[in-house]
Structure 1
Amino acid sequence: MSSVWTFLTRTQGRGRLTLTDWVSYAYLLLGFLIILVPVAWLGLNSVKTAFQIEKQDLALLPGDFDRVARATVNGPEGREIFVIGDAPDWVLNWKDLNAEQKAAQDVAGYLAGKEGRELFALRTHLDQVTTLARAEITALGLPDWLTRYSALTPQARTAFDLDVALAGLSADQERLIKEYLGVDPYKPNRIVTQVLVTAPDPESGRVMQWAVPNLNPQSAFLPGRAVDGSIDGVVRLPRDTVTASRNIKPAWGNFLDPLTGQAYGINVDFATCITNSVLVTIIATVITLLINSMAGFALSKYQFRGQVFFLAIILTTLMVPATITLVGVFKAINATGLSGSIWGVIIPGAATPAGVFLLRQYMLTIPDELIEAARMDSATEWSVYWRIVLPLALPALAALGILSIIWRWNDLIIPMVAIATTKEAYTIQLCLLEFRGEHISQEHYRLAMTVVSLIPTTLVFVFLQKYITTGIANTGMK
C-alpha cells in the first residue's frame, strides 16, 4: 500500500502541486472513472432482482420493494382489475421459480382459502386451471373431446355442442372448464407485480396503501390503485407524497440459477457453456501459437522466392473486415464437416495475420549467428525452431497467447456461424444470447452471467499485462 500511496502522491519534485500535477491527476481520475463506472454499474445490476430490472429501477444498490399483486379477471361481467394485498412472495415470484421450488409450495392449500375473483386470478397465475379442469372433466364424466376442444379449428368445433356438454354444471364448474377451453368471455386471467406504497388520497387526504407500476422519478404523478379496494379505478398520486419501503437484498440467485441449470425459461446449461469456452480458448490458443510461430520463423529467418509477396498478402488481410469473409468461413466450415462441433470454432481462426506479424517482427531481433552456430553443430531445423527460436521469443509468445485468450473467449461471430444449431456446443457468448428471446427476457440472468464471463479475461489481463506490453514493445527492437 505504501508504494501505491507514493505513486499517487508524486509531484514534479517542487514540494507542492503544480498545474501539471493537477492536470495529470485530473486526467488519471477521469480515466479511472470512465473505466470503473460501467463495470460498477454492471456489477451492481447483476445482483438486482428480476422485478427491479423489469421496472427499470435506477436505484444504485440492489434491493426489493414491498410488493402486491394486481389482478385482471375476465368474465361475463367484463374485465375486473383489483389488488391482492396479502399474496406471499412465492406467489408474486411464481414465474421465476424452477420446477423444484414450485413443487415445494402448497398451492392447493393456498387456493383452498380463496374464493371469488381472487381465486379465479390466482389459479390461473399458479398454472392450476389445466390440472383442475381435467380433473373435473374426469370426475364428472364429461365427454373426452373437451380436453381437445381448445386445439380444434373453428370449423371442427361446430361438430360439438359445448352448451349441451356443460349443461347441469354449477356456475363455478362451468367457469373453470370454459377458462380451460379459452371460450369467450373467459379470456386468460393475469396477475402482475406492483410496488406497494403509502400516500394520502388526493381527494380526502386519508393516508392509504396503493399499488403503483413503478417509482418513476421523472414523473410528477404516479398511477395508483387502492389496495383495500375502497376506491375504484386509478388515482393520480403526486410523486413527492409517495413513500415506499425498500430492503437491500442482493439477488444471488441470478448467479446460482444459471450455473446450476435452474434458470426459468432457459434451455441451455451455462456451466457447459463455460466448459466449452475454456476448451475452445485453450486448444485454439495452443494451435495459434504453434502455427503463427512457425510462420513467423519462416518469414524472419529464411530467404526464399516470394517471401515479400507472402508477407504483403498476410499484412493485407489485416485490412479486410471479418464480416466480409463470413460467408466464405461459413461455406468452408460446412464443406469440411465441422459445423456443429467446437472444432468449427477452433480451426478457422488458428492462424491470425496479427500474430504472424507480431512474432515475425520479434524473431527478427534474434541474432542469426545463434541459428548458424546451431546448424554448424548439426542441429536440425526443427531443433533450431524448438530449442533456440521459441525460448528466445517467449515474451512475444506470451503477449500473443494472452491476446489470443481474450479474442477467443469473447468471440461471438465464429461460434454463431459454426455451432449456432447445436446447443450442446455453445460457448459462453452464445449462451448469453439465450437470456433474451421473443417471448421471454431474463435480463437479470444475462447481467449476472455477463459478469461471470468477464472474470477470466479480466484476471488474465490484470495479472499478465506486463507480458503484453513487454512483448509488443520488443517487436520493434533491432
Structure 2
Amino acid sequence: MWAFLTRTQGRGRLTLVDWLSYGYLAFGFLLIFIPVVWLGLNSVKTAFQIERQDISLIPGDYTRVARATVQGPDGKRIFFITDLPDWVLNWRDLSAADQAAQDVAGFLSAQTGDAALALRSHLGQTEPQALAVIAAQGLPDWLPRYRTMSASAKAEVNIEAALAGLSPANDRLLREFTGLYPGARLTSQILVSAPDPQTGEIRQWGVSNIDIKRAFTPARPVDAVNAKVTKLPTASLQADRNVQIAWENYIDPLSGSSYGVTVDFTRCLTNSVIVTIVGTAITLLINSMAAFALSKYKFRGQVMFLALILATLMVPPTITLVGVFKAIQATGISGSLWGIIIPGSATPAGVFMLRQYMLTLPDELIEAARMDSASEWKIFWKIVAPLALPAIAALGILSIVWRWNDLIVPLVAVATVKEAYTIQLCLLEFRGEHTSQEHYRLAMTMVSLIPTTLVFVFLQRYITTGIANSGMK
C-alpha cells in the first residue's frame, strides 16, 4: 500500500500529473468514505440526539431536564422537574422488558403535587390506576369505555353523578382517564445555562434544541412556573454534554426488543439471505442456459428472440409492476419468499452479458465434445460454464447486490405478510404514522450495508474481469 501511494511519474519528485492523480484519488475516497462515516456515527447516537437533529459528529447526550404540562380546573401549568433518572426520561424508548424491570410504583409514591400527575401519565400508569379505582369503588361498567363512546351514548349517561363522592385525587384520576381533563404531558429538554436578558444573572433554562445556525433560541427558565418563552442568544448557551455510544440501537432490533417496532429484524435478515442466495442461484442457471443457446446454437428466429430480450431493457420496471403483481397473485405465491425470488429469475442484462462473453469461446471446443458423444447438458456444464466463470461470477455479484437492496418486488409480493419481510421492508417499519425510530433505522441500515460491502471488497476483481471480457460498457 505504501509503495502504491508513493509512486511518482517523475524521478523522485512529484509532477503535475502526480498531483492531479493523487488529488483525484483523494477526492474519490472522501466522496465515498465521508457519507459512510457520517452514517456510522449517527447510527450510535441516542434517540434524543437524533430527534433533536443534532448535526455534531460525536455521539453523545446532553444533561436534560423534564418539562411538564398539567391541565386542571385552574388552567394549564408548565413547570420543570429536575434530577430525574435516565430511565424516566427515556421511558418511551425502553423495551417492554426494560419497563417491567423498573420500580414504577415505588418511584411514583415518592412524588407529590403536579409532578406526580405528570409522571403518572408519562409512565403510563393512568389507565391501570383508574381501572383499579373503578373496580374498588364499584363504579358503572361504562366508565372504562367512556372515552371511546359516541356523543349520543355519552348523553345517555351521567358521568358527573358517577364521579360524585370520590376523593379529589381519584376524581382527578378518573377525569383524566375519561378525557374530561387533558392528560398531563412530560417532554425531555436540554438543560442549559445562560444570562437572563433582563438582569444578566446566570440562570438555568430548558430548550428543545440547540441550533448553532440560529441567532436566538427559545427557552423557559427552570426555576419558574408558567414562565413565558424567552429568546436567548444561541452563542450564550452553555450545555453539559457527555460522549455516549448508544449500542442499544443495534442490540434492541437484533434481539427483537426495540420499542414501537412490530417486526423481527433478525427474521428479516434471514429472509434477505434466503432470497439473495436462492434467487441468485436460479438467476445464474436460467441466464447462463439462455445465453448458451443464443450464442452457440443456430435456429430460426434467433435474432428476433435476442431483440425481444434486449427490448425489455428499455421498459422501466415501474411500468411492469401491475403485471408482476397480478402474476404473483394468480400463481399463488403472494405472501411467500417465492413471490420475491421468481419474478427476477431471468434478467435481460444478465442474458446479454453472458451471451457476449460466450461468443468469445471457441466453437471448436464444443464441436470436439460433440464428436466425443458428449450431451448438450454435459457440454454446457463441463466446458461452457467453467470457461464463462468470470462473467458468471460478475453476474452473480451484481445479482446479489440487486436482490439484497431490492424494495419494489418485496413491496408488491409480501407487503401484507410481515413474517416474509426482507431487510429493506423492515427498514420502513422504523418510521410509522405515530412513531419514528430513526436511531434504529440508521443502525440497521449500517447492518444492511455489511454484506454488499464485503461482496465488493473481496470479489470486485471478478466484476472487472467479467464485464471487461464480455464487451459491455
Q: Normalising TM by the smaller chain, what interval?
A: over 0.9
Q: Once the two structures are superposed, what CA deviation does each residue of 1:404-441 show, in whole Å capped at 9, x if it has no partner?
A: 10010000110011111110000000101101111111
2:254 maps to a residue whose letter is L
How far, CA to CA, are the matches of 2:304 and 2:316 in structure 1? 21
How far, CA to CA, are the matches of 2:158 and 2:172 in structure 1? 16
Q: Quick check: 1:426 aligned with 2:421?
A: yes
How far, CA to CA, are the matches of 2:389 and 2:359 in structure 1? 14
Is the CA contact (8 Å cut-off) linking 1:225 and 1:234 kept in structure 2?
Answer: yes
Structure 2 counterpart of 1:391? 386
In the TM superposition, what are the counterparts of 1:144-163 in structure 2 within 5 Å? 144-163=141-160
Structure 1 counterpart of 2:273? 278
Structure 1 residue aligned with 2:91, among 94, 98, 112?
A: 94
Structure 2 counterpart of 1:206? 201
Is the CA contact (8 Å cut-off) linking 2:78 and 2:226 kept in structure 1?
Answer: no
1:298 maps to a residue whose letter is A
Q: Which runs of 5+ in 2 are unaligned?
A: none
Q: Which runs of at least 4 in structure 1 moved beyond 6 Å after TM superposition?
A: none
Q: Structure 1 length as normaliser, TM-score?
A: 0.97
Q: Quick check: 1:322 aligned with 2:304?
A: no
Q: Quick check: 1:412 aligned with 2:407?
A: yes
**Stretch of structure 1 that moved more, 224-233 or 453-462:** 224-233
Structure 1 residue aligned with 2:295, among 288, 292, 300?
A: 300
Is the CA contact (8 Å cut-off) linking 2:79 and 2:225 kept in structure 1?
Answer: no
1:70 maps to a residue whose letter is R
In the TM superposition, what are the counterparts of 1:40-439 in structure 2 within 5 Å? 40-183=37-180, 186-229=181-224, 232-439=227-434
Secondary structure in 2 aligned to 1:263?
Answer: coil
1:262 maps to a residue whose letter is S
Give the drift of 1:230: 7.1
Structure 2 counterpart of 1:9? 6
Is the CA contact (8 Å cut-off) linking 1:85 and 1:228 kept in structure 2?
Answer: no
Structure 2 counterpart of 1:24? 21
How far, CA to CA, are the matches of 2:141 and 2:325 in structure 1? 51
Give the drift of 1:87: 1.5
Supply the RMSD in Å over aligned alpha carbons: 1.2
Q: Once the two structures are superposed, what CA deviation does each residue of 1:207-239 show, in whole Å capped at 9, x if it has no partner?
A: 222111111101112222222227822222221
Secondary structure in 1 aligned to 2:317?
Answer: coil
Is the CA contact (8 Å cut-off) linking 1:196 and 1:244 kept in structure 2?
Answer: yes
Secondary structure in 2 aligned to 1:144?
Answer: coil
Q: Which runs of 5+ in 1 are unaligned?
A: none
How far, CA to CA, are the matches of 2:107 and 2:223 in structure 1? 20
How far, CA to CA, are the matches of 1:433 and 1:385 in structure 2? 43
Secondary structure in 1 aligned to 2:400?
Answer: helix
How far, CA to CA, are the matches of 2:63 and 2:240 in structure 1? 6
Is the CA contact (8 Å cut-off) linking 2:79 and 2:226 kept in structure 1?
Answer: no
1:170 maps to a residue whose letter is S
Secondary structure in 2 aligned to 1:325?
Answer: helix
How far, CA to CA, are the matches of 1:29 and 1:199 in structure 2? 43
How far, CA to CA, are the matches of 1:163 and 1:194 in structure 2? 37
**Stretch of structure 1 that moved more, 445-454 or 80-89:** 80-89
How far, CA to CA, are the matches of 1:320 and 1:147 in structure 2? 57
**Stretch of structure 1 that moved more, 351-360 or 7-16:** 7-16
Q: Once the two structures are superposed, what CA deviation does each residue of 1:340-367 show, in whole Å capped at 9, x if it has no partner?
A: 1110100111000111011111111111
How far, CA to CA, are the matches of 1:273 and 1:147 in structure 2? 38
Give the drift of 1:8: 1.1
Q: Structure 2 length as normaliser, TM-score?
A: 0.98
2:62 maps to a residue whose letter is F
How far, CA to CA, are the matches of 2:52 and 2:460 in structure 1? 39
Structure 1 counterpart of 2:447? 452
How far, CA to CA, are the matches of 2:287 and 2:214 in structure 1? 58
How far, CA to CA, are the matches of 1:319 and 1:7 in structure 2? 42
Secondary structure in 2 aligned to 1:365?
Answer: coil
How far, CA to CA, are the matches of 2:343 and 2:306 in structure 1? 20
Secondary structure in 1 aligned to 2:448?
Answer: helix
Is the CA contact (8 Å cut-off) linking 2:127 and 2:177 kept in structure 1?
Answer: yes
**Stretch of structure 1 that moved more, 223-232 or 79-88:** 223-232
* Count of aligned positions: 472
Secondary structure in 1 aligned to 2:242?
Answer: strand
How far, CA to CA, are the matches of 2:468 and 2:102 in structure 1? 62
Q: Once the two structures are superposed, what CA deviation does each residue of 1:26-47 show, in whole Å capped at 9, x if it has no partner?
A: 1111111111111111111111
How far, CA to CA, are the matches of 2:105 and 2:426 in structure 1? 36
Give the drift of 1:308: 0.8
2:77 maps to a residue whose letter is E
Is the CA contact (8 Å cut-off) linking 1:65 and 1:247 kept in structure 2?
Answer: yes
